[in-house]
Structure 1
Amino acid sequence: MKAEMDQEEEGKVAPKAQQPEGISLHRATELINLLISCSYSVRSFLAKWQLIRDKLEQIHSSLAAAAEGDNSATNSDLVGLLQAIKSTASETQVLANRCNDESYGGGKLHLRSDLDVIASKLHILMRRLEEIYASGILTSSQAIVVSRPGVGASWEDMRFYVKDLISRLKIGDSEMRLRALSALKQVLCDDDKYVRILVAKVAQGVALLVSFLESQSEGVQEEAAEAISVISGFDSHKGALVMAGAVAPLIRTLEMGSELAKERAAGALKKLTENSDNAWSVSAQGGVSTLLKIRGDASSSGELIRSACGVLKSLSGVEEIRRFMVEEGAVSIFVELSRSKEEASQIQAIEFLTILACEDAAIKQKVMVEGVLGSLVPHSSKAKEVALRAIENLCFSSPSSMNYFMSSGFLDCVLYLLRSGEISIQESALKAVARLSGLSEAIKKAMGDAGFIPELVKLLEARSFQVREMAAETLSGMISIQRNRRRFVREDENVDRILQLLDPEEKSVTKKFLLTVLVSLTDRKMMTSGYSKHLEKLAETEAADAKKIIKKLSTSRFRSMFTGIWCS
């Protein structure tokens, strides 16, 4: 390295008036690059050399960016800086040689002090270079971002690339910053190693990204928001974003950024608030009101609305914040949104209303008064399933809620869903019906009056095993009511259908609930049915309920026929 510098001194031409040593931006860049390479061979004072190398890399990136745009150095300030860089590079090389000499010329203590001095000099040079950039002396309109390391590149190459991008972000004009941000965002998206390098290995790298959220350039703001969104997807790095003060500018971006910047900022906040520790940070910065405003704004994009809803759902886990949302009109906003034609918005609105109301009687009452029950049977299959779960959570827990619920026409709605033929909907509807029928005798009577028995009987032969099972269980519960038993036996085919399904060879349905239905009956249609032999076979296989039914039906007229079975 020293020999190269001596050769440069010997080979230079007579100095020009404004360039005494004839050093160009390009040559200064080469000198720093050679020194960086040389520093890796030093095997002592490793921590101090790492610090020195970091500063050299930042100076190198700044010089390289400037040299790509203009290789001339005609300004006296820049000429003086380049001379200082060259001189400091020579001193650094001497120190590298001393560190590699086991005698540590001058002593270890003295050498350690010299290394601290060099690190300080490099820091000052770096600051001077940034000031020259800020003054507009250097332009880089033609500068391009350096090539990204290839697949399988070393950590050191990847780290150098990230640091180069960060240097360009610090000193570049708007165009260079945008291109550097775009390149940085891309590597963060493509490889999580770059995320770790940026967060853990680049001083102030995250803070610099956060600062660009306040940029007046839409493009810069959008790219910064996307990069931050990528970082926020890693649990181990969320703390770094919060410590860098990302929450407040993300919320301001939601308020005043472009539509794309808003979407990306909302996505970042959604990921950040998956950790409940960050909920108060968002609330303290006025985030709740901002997010509710987005939900109530018809001009907001679907992506923005979904992300905003995700943040609000996370924040609602804190009771005080949840109550504040209600005070801010969240119920009315989400009731309206639950009637949206867009499935995703419907589902999120219904789920959010359920969260708001499920643990608070006062909020639950407000949800019902606002008319949410009328909006919980939307059109898409997925939304219907979510609505049915919400109805269970909102209305099945207290008598007052149940009374309001029953008067809302829900039985007619759920009966319609049972008849729809969609397996997923039938399963969800049956779950609700099964739970509903177990709440009271009055509800079982109301279900019988509404016409549920014929539909449940039909569902005993549905394609889904789960539907068949739930239908049998629900039917057995409803038959415990005398009025419903009369309805059941009134249709001749009902008894026949149950007996047919009791075929011992039939494996498609559990027979326990079907036998429970028949145990409640005393109708002799069972004995005259062509399928009564199925009951007899079950009794022969020690099926207790089957024996009980036969014993119950047996009279003096039939006793001789069945004595051998039920007395065994």
Structure 2
Amino acid sequence: MVEDKGKQVVVDIESVEDWLSHAQSLVPLALDKSRDVKGFPGRWKMIISKLEQIPSRLSDLSSHPCFSKNALCKEQLQAVSKTLKEVIELADLCVSEKYGGKLRMQSDLDALCAKLDLNLRDCGLLIKTGVLGEATLPISVPGSSTEPEAATHSNTKELLARLQIGHLEAKHRALDTLVEVMKEDEKTVLSVLGRSNISALVQLLTATSPRIREKTVTVICSLAESGSCENWLVSEGVLPPLIRLVESGSAVGKEKATISLQRLSMSEETARAIVGHGGVRPLIEICRTGDSVSQAAAACTLKNISSVPEVRQNLAEEGIVKVMINLLDCGILLGSKEYAAECLQNLTASNENLKRAVISEGGIRSLLAYLDGPLPQESAVGALRNLVSLVTIEMLISYAFLPRLVHVLKSGSPGAQQAAASAICRVSTSTEVKKLIGEAGCIPLLIKLLEAKSNSVREVSAQALSSLVSLSQNCREVKRDDKSVPNLVQLLDPSPQNTAKKYAVSCLASLSSSKKCKKLMISYGAIGYLKKLTEMDIPGSKKLLERLERGKLRSLFTRK
């Protein structure tokens, strides 16, 4: 060592071999001194048993091929030497009985035991982590011919190992560096990350220091969002500490923990586990009281969880219905509202009790109000589709349901348009409702949707029309629309991918009472399609084919 006035260490000039020799020479002295102590026999017996393990650990460490090239080895030997000196000092105090008090000495000996445990554990971990497999290079080596990428990988691997080795403050420093490294080069960290590193990070989530927990969850959030190590995170037990941070962490801790759960909950198995670990209640609380980012992340997490049918009742028991409806009305970010709508769509997919709960909490009014935006999304319309069969038409009319459906059919996303057409199918159960739907202006929009790129949109639009045309005034409106017959004939395509053909046949059968429509059907090639559909036993195709062929025959005789 080179020292400045005997106080501050400036440079450590001793080699790793020197430190090994120093530590090895201290072990027998520490053992002899410990065996001379008469007081505190239980504690000194434990200390002696740990001291006896040190030589083999030092031997394992020194026999590694990269022992002399790795900075961590030298630091570990320095830590062991420091602990051994403390053993000698405390043994001398106990032998001479010159200590400040029995309780204080007991506390000092307990702390010494913990340090010896840490030294033994860290020596083993140094080899297990694999960090000694590569020579650790300094961050900047003037004139070095080593590949920069290899040096970066080696430094990153050492940094990750430091999360597992040493006392808490050393881990804190390593964590600070890791946060900065991940900001600059997350890809390199991910490329060398191992399961043991994940385990070390998860353990740091429960550190007593709030600052360490906050920085750790920041790293874990980045790892979760990367999508490369979700399984490791979950299997190493990340969920319980994340949920505790959502419940009682700092503002940053809550936000990062919630975002982590958002990503992890995309797995159905993990979504179930979050429920099992009691994560629903704190997530619901974040939806009630959190800031904008945390609220959106919590809503998305709950939406992901709600996609698992068997946990929906658990969610309902924690009050999720009311919270999601409130988010739909008052969510800070548009994303929060969308997640709330998706969650309500999931909750109302099959469970009748949950459907009634959403209705009784005023969910229909909130969902309809959410549709007033410029681009209505599928989720809200899908939730309404799930609910309409349990609500009277009078209530729907009082909530301006039909004008909202028209808005969705005109301006909604393809998924929203499909859900709107599906909702029409579900409410078209009476002549009165069919009349109201026709008068609201839905029919031309459904005819236009027969041209949609999506087969499922075309199918449900044809299905809605096939129900509506059973009312004569709706049928007349369809006949008047120039696009109705050509669009429906196109849906007679016999290919397996076209699932709208049976509804197209039904619609065209209703229109075939019109000579004009029959001529149009024939001119657009309906007979050729219907012959194939008849062979496929599509309901109504044979009867419609016969009607068109009779009309074609009559027209031939008329021309003669």
Q: Give the TM-score range, shorter chain.
A: 0.5 to 0.7
Number of equivalent positions: 454
1:179 aligns with 2:162: no
Listed as ranges, the gaps of 5+ residues in structure 1 are 1-11, 36-44, 68-72, 85-120, 131-144
Indicate the residue corresponding to 1:229 in structure 2.
Answer: 221
1:354 aligns with 2:345: yes
1:49 Cα deviation (Å)?
3.4
For 1:480, what is the secondary structure of its paired residue?
coil
Indicate the residue corresponding to 1:210 in structure 2.
Answer: 205
State the distance in 1 between where 2:472 and 2:413 align: 30
1:268 Cα deviation (Å)?
2.5
1:384 aligns with 2:386: no
- Pairs within 5 Å for 1:369-518: 369-377=360-368, 378=370, 379-380=372-373, 383-396=376-389, 408-420=399-411, 424=414, 427-428=417-418, 431-433=421-423, 435-436=425-426, 443-457=433-447, 471-472=461-462, 474-488=464-478, 493-494=480-481, 498=484, 517-518=507-508
- Output one character per residue of 1:82-138: Cα deviation in whole Å (capped at 9) or x when no partner: 999xxxxxxxxxxxxxxxxxxxxxxxxxxxxxxxxxxxx9x94974999xxxxxxxx
CA, structure 1 residues 155+49, in 2 after alignment: closer, same or farther (shift >3 Å)? farther
1:368 Cα deviation (Å)?
0.8
- Output one character per residue of 1:441-466: Cα deviation in whole Å (capped at 9) or x when no partner: 66434423434334445656789898
Indicate the residue corresponding to 2:286 in structure 1.
Answer: 294
1:54 Cα deviation (Å)?
11
Indicate the residue corresponding to 1:308 in structure 2.
Answer: 298
Q: 1:328 aligns with which of 270, 295, 318?
A: 318
State the distance in 2 between where 1:307 and 1:511 align: 42
State the distance in 2 between where 1:432 and 1:61 align: 65
Are the counterparts in 1 of residues 164 and 197 from structure 2 also a CA contact under 8 Å? no
Letter in 2 for 1:147: I
Are the counterparts in 2 of residues 430 and 470 from structure 1 also a CA contact under 8 Å? no
Indicate the residue corresponding to 1:535 in structure 2.
Answer: 522
1:195 Cα deviation (Å)?
2.1
Letter in 2 for 1:352: C
1:312 Cα deviation (Å)?
2.6
1:354 Cα deviation (Å)?
2.5
Are the counterparts in 2 of residues 25 and 82 from structure 1 also a CA contact under 8 Å? no
State the distance in 2 between where 1:311 and 1:560 align: 70
- Output one character per residue of 1:322-377: Cα deviation in whole Å (capped at 9) or x when no partner: 43432332211110111236321111101112233333222210101111112224
Letter in 2 for 1:482: S
- Output one character per residue of 1:295-317: Cα deviation in whole Å (capped at 9) or x when no partner: 011xx233212222233345446
CA, structure 1 residues 522+274, in 2 after alignment: closer, same or farther (shift >3 Å)? closer
CA, structure 1 residues 343+224, in 2 after alignment: closer, same or farther (shift >3 Å)? same
Indicate the residue corresponding to 2:192 in structure 1.
Answer: 194
State the distance in 2 between where 1:436 and 1:471 align: 12
Indicate the residue corresponding to 1:61 in structure 2.
Answer: 72
Are the counterparts in 2 of residues 358 and 393 from structure 1 also a CA contact under 8 Å? yes
Are the counterparts in 2 of residues 357 and 364 from structure 1 also a CA contact under 8 Å? yes
State the distance in 2 between where 1:124 and 1:473 align: 76
- Output one character per residue of 1:5-41: Cα deviation in whole Å (capped at 9) or x when no partner: xxxxxxx99xxx999xxx9971345436999xxxxxx
1:26 aligns with 2:24: no
Percent identity over paired residues: 22
1:560 aligns with 2:549: no
TM-score of the two chains, using structure 1 as the length reference:
0.61
Are the counterparts in 1 of residues 156 and 188 from structure 2 also a CA contact under 8 Å? no
For 2:205, what is the secondary structure of its paired residue?
helix
Are the counterparts in 2 of residues 460 and 472 from structure 1 also a CA contact under 8 Å? yes
Are the counterparts in 1 of residues 214 and 252 from structure 2 also a CA contact under 8 Å? yes
CA, structure 1 residues 541+325, in 2 after alignment: closer, same or farther (shift >3 Å)? closer
CA, structure 1 residues 146+317, in 2 after alignment: closer, same or farther (shift >3 Å)? farther
1:526 Cα deviation (Å)?
1.5
Which moves more between the two structures, 346-355 or 335-344?
Answer: 335-344
State the distance in 2 between where 1:261 and 1:478 align: 55
Query: Aligned-pair RMSD on alpha carbons?
Result: 5.5
CA, structure 1 residues 525+426, in 2 after alignment: closer, same or farther (shift >3 Å)? farther
1:292 Cα deviation (Å)?
1.1
State the distance in 1 between where 2:187 and 2:381 align: 38
Indicate the residue corresponding to 1:337 in structure 2.
Answer: 327
1:77 Cα deviation (Å)?
6.5
1:60 Cα deviation (Å)?
4.7
Are the counterparts in 2 of residues 169 and 181 from structure 1 also a CA contact under 8 Å? no
Letter in 1 for 2:60: W
CA, structure 1 residues 532+189, in 2 after alignment: closer, same or farther (shift >3 Å)? same
For 1:27, what is the secondary structure of its paired residue?
coil
1:260 aligns with 2:252: yes
